[in-house]
């Protein structure tokens, strides 16, 4: 049934229609049905693209939208993990990776959108420095873990912790990428000065 | 009389030793001379030849392919005597992913990148994966690096000479260059640690040298480039409330300013240093976190390192070893306790 409708829309878009009555009927259906009206829109867009009539203002820049959507997401209410928990987390990293995979993929899509570096390996474990817990951590001493609670509860809090770790990783990755691209940008701009200096050197040596 | 038979061989061997040392020494000296000559030839070739080449940057198990064109054309200068002048034309394009092109016509370089609207700057060098200094005056590297001519090998199907640019201290990486015997051009470049561990390499995959500049480049010479942005020198020397007290020898301050990082919108105080070959960026900004241990990421030879101490975030970016980056971070001193 719906396929017939899609066909009708398609022929309408292409300006082929059998009878005025039928056309009217299809248009009414489109107006009523949200799904059909998006199809109408999409067919037009497809047609525009094929005919190369898409205005340059139209940019399907989904990456930035995704990144924004993620940035706007409310932060997840996870208990703030202490450094000790972090270390344990690292030890069972392999397991975490499996569990967080779906979220991780989204994160990669968002963070890779901006820049060309993707293969950044991170090293936080071997800094050789004792991680001193910050004030915030001390005032909220692991409320969730001290309580002997049901299986379900501990599962839940664990996954929240994983979320927190993941969030941190994503943030860190973004920070690194932002710094790296800014560094490259600054180096490019500094070439202006280098050229000026060179020119001055040449002009003074010829004088 | 009896001693003589002993003395003569001794004296002879001493003489022999002396000569061999002298020969060795002169060999070393000629090695360095040869290396220097090769680098100077490279610099000249990069500026004067018409070439059409492709290379791949390999780092972190990834390959980035580039296409690089360079040529020299005659243009009628608009000066009073209508004399002909030569200008350099250059195109460097990243072939994978979003478009990243660098165009150069003489002293104007245009960058076409996804992050920014296209722009041009006044510069005689492009900032790409290949260190710009290789096409400029390599003698600026003398203070901090040795040049060593190592041996011959075959790269890209051509006879190549391996030249090493070896740092004089342990705080930076070495660069190995394989140069074409025929043209003097670069065929391969590797960034290696002191222990010889490979961090990043550029392998050329195609090289064509012609008498005339290619059609693409000739078209470039008549193309309108994006508007040149003027950078005032005044912005380059902002007085900041902190200073870097340690850098590897030979690094000079290029600029210091306050700006916003495009990707994160973070306002930072910034200093850029350069030793002729590599650039080091230092960023300082206030942070909401009180403390964060040192974290770092490695992109090929480039390290990005960052930590927070007393609500101040310090970051270092550059092609330097981890130990150097840490040392730089630790050497920072603040004239005020808090910056804003």
* Contact across the interface for B318 and A121, Cβ inside 8 Å: no
Decide if pLDDT at A164 tops 70: yes
* Contact across the interface for B318 and A116, Cβ inside 8 Å: no
Q: Cβ contacts of residue B324 below 8 Å, gap of 6+?
A: B171, B172, B248
pLDDT at A75: 56
Measured distance CA(B314)–CA(B304) in Å, rounded: 11
Question: Is the CB of residue B221 less than 8 Å from the CB of residue B71?
Answer: no
Q: Which of A127, A176, A187 sits opposite B297 (nearest CB)?
A: A176
The answer to whether residue B235 neighbours chain A at the CB level (below 8 Å) is: no
The answer to whether residue B120 neighbours chain A at the CB level (below 8 Å) is: no
Q: Which of B107, B123, B291 sits opposite A134 (nearest CB)?
A: B291
Alpha helices by DSSP H, listed for chain B, are 4-48, 215-222, 322-331
Of residues B200 and A88, the one with the higher pLDDT is B200
Q: Name the band, by pLDDT with cuts 50, 70 and 90, for residue A106.
A: very low
For an interface test with B, give the residue of A84, A189, A199 to mutate (most B CBs within 10 A): A189
| Among chain A residues, CA nearest to B122 | A192
pLDDT at A200: 65
Please state whether the predicted TM-score (pTM) of the whole model is above 0.90.
Answer: no
List CB contacts (< 8 A) between B261 and chain A: 178-179, 182
Question: Is the CB of residue B262 less than 8 Å from the CB of residue B117?
Answer: no
pLDDT at A105: 42
Decide if pLDDT at A40 tops 60: yes
pLDDT at B80: 57
Measured distance CA(A21)–CA(A169) in Å, rounded: 60
Domains of chain B: 25-77+84-221 (2.50.20.10), 242-334 (3.30.200.100)
Q: Name the band, by pLDDT with cuts 50, 70 and 90, for residue A56.
A: low
Q: Cβ contacts of residue A118 below 8 Å, gap of 6+?
A: A108, A112, B62
List CB contacts (< 8 A) between B256 and chain A: none
* Contact across the interface for A193 and B233, Cβ inside 8 Å: yes
* Contact across the interface for B298 and A120, Cβ inside 8 Å: yes
Does the ipTM surpass 0.90?
no
Average pLDDT of each block of 10 consecutive residues along chain B (340 residues)?
A: 51 56 58 92 96 94 94 76 81 94 94 90 92 93 94 95 95 96 96 93 96 90 88 72 93 92 90 95 94 90 93 95 95 70
pLDDT tens-digit series, residues A183-200: 999 999 888 876 666 666
pLDDT at B81: 61
The answer to whether residue B52 neighbours chain A at the CB level (below 8 Å) is: no
pLDDT at A115: 34
Among A137, A163, A166, A140, smallest CA distance to A78 is for: A163
Decide if pLDDT at A79 tops 60: no
């Amino acid at each position: 049934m719906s396929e017939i409708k899609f066909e009708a829309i398609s022929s309408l878009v292409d300006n082929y229609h059998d009878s005025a009555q039928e056309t009217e009927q299809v248009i009414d259906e489109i107006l009523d049905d949200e799904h059909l009206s998006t199809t109408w829109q999409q067919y037009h867009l497809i047609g525009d693209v094929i005919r190369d009539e898409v205005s340059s203002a139209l940019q399907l820049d989904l990456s930035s939208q995704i990144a924004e959507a993620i940035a706007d997401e409310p932060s997840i209410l996870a208990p703030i993990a202490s450094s000790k928990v972090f270390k344990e987390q690292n030890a069972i990293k392999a397991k975490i990776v499996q569990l967080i995979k779906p979220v991780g993929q989204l994160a990669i899509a968002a963070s890779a959108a901006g820049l060309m570096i993707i293969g950044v390996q991170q090293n936080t474990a071997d800094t050789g420095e004792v991680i001193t817990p910050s004030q915030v951590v001390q005032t909220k001493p692991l409320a969730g873990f001290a309580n002997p609670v049901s299986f379900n509860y501990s599962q839940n809090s664990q996954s929240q912790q994983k979320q927190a770790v993941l969030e941190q990783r994503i943030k860190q990755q973004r920070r690194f990428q932002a710094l790296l691209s800014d560094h490259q940008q600054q180096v490019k701009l500094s070439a202006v000065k280098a050229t000026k200096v060179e020119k001055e050197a040449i002009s003074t040596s010829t004088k | 009389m009896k001693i003589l038979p002993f003395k003569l061989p001794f004296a002879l061997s001493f003489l022999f030793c002396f000569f061999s040392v002298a020969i060795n020494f002169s060999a070393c000296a000629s090695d360095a001379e040869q290396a220097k000559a090769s680098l100077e030839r490279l610099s000249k070739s990069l500026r004067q030849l018409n070439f059409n080449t492709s290379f791949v940057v390999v780092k972190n198990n990834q390959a980035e392919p580039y296409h690089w064109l360079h040529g020299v054309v005659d243009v009628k200068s608009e000066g009073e005597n209508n004399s002909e002048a030569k200008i350099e034309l250059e195109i460097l394009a990243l072939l994978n992913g979003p478009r990243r092109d660098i165009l150069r016509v003489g002293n104007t370089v245009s960058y076409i990148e996804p992050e920014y609207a296209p722009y041009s700057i006044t510069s005689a060098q492009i900032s790409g994966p290949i260190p710009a200094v290789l096409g400029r005056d390599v003698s600026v590297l003398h203070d901090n690096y040795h040049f060593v001519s190592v041996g011959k090998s075959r790269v890209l199907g051509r006879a190549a000479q391996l030249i090493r640019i070896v740092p004089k201290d342990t705080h930076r990486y070495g660069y190995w260059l394989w140069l074409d015997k025929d043209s003097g051009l670069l065929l391969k470049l590797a960034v290696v640690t002191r222990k010889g561990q490979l961090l990043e390499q550029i392998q050329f995959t195609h090289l064509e040298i012609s008498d005339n500049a290619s059609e693409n480049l000739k078209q470039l010479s008549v193309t309108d480039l994006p508007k040149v942005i003027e950078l005032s020198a005044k912005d380059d020397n902002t007085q900041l409330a902190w200073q870097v007290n340690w850098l590897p020898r030979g690094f000079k301050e290029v600029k210091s300013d306050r700006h916003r990082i495009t990707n994160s919108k973070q306002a930072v105080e910034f200093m850029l240093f350069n030793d002729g070959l590599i650039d080091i960026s230092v960023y300082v900004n206030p942070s909401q976190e009180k403390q964060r241990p040192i974290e770092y990421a490695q992109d090929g030879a480039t390290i990005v390192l960052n930590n927070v101490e007393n609500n101040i975030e310090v970051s270092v970016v550059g092609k330097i070893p981890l130990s150097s980056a840490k040392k730089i971070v630790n050497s920072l001193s603040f004239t005020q306790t808090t910056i804003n």
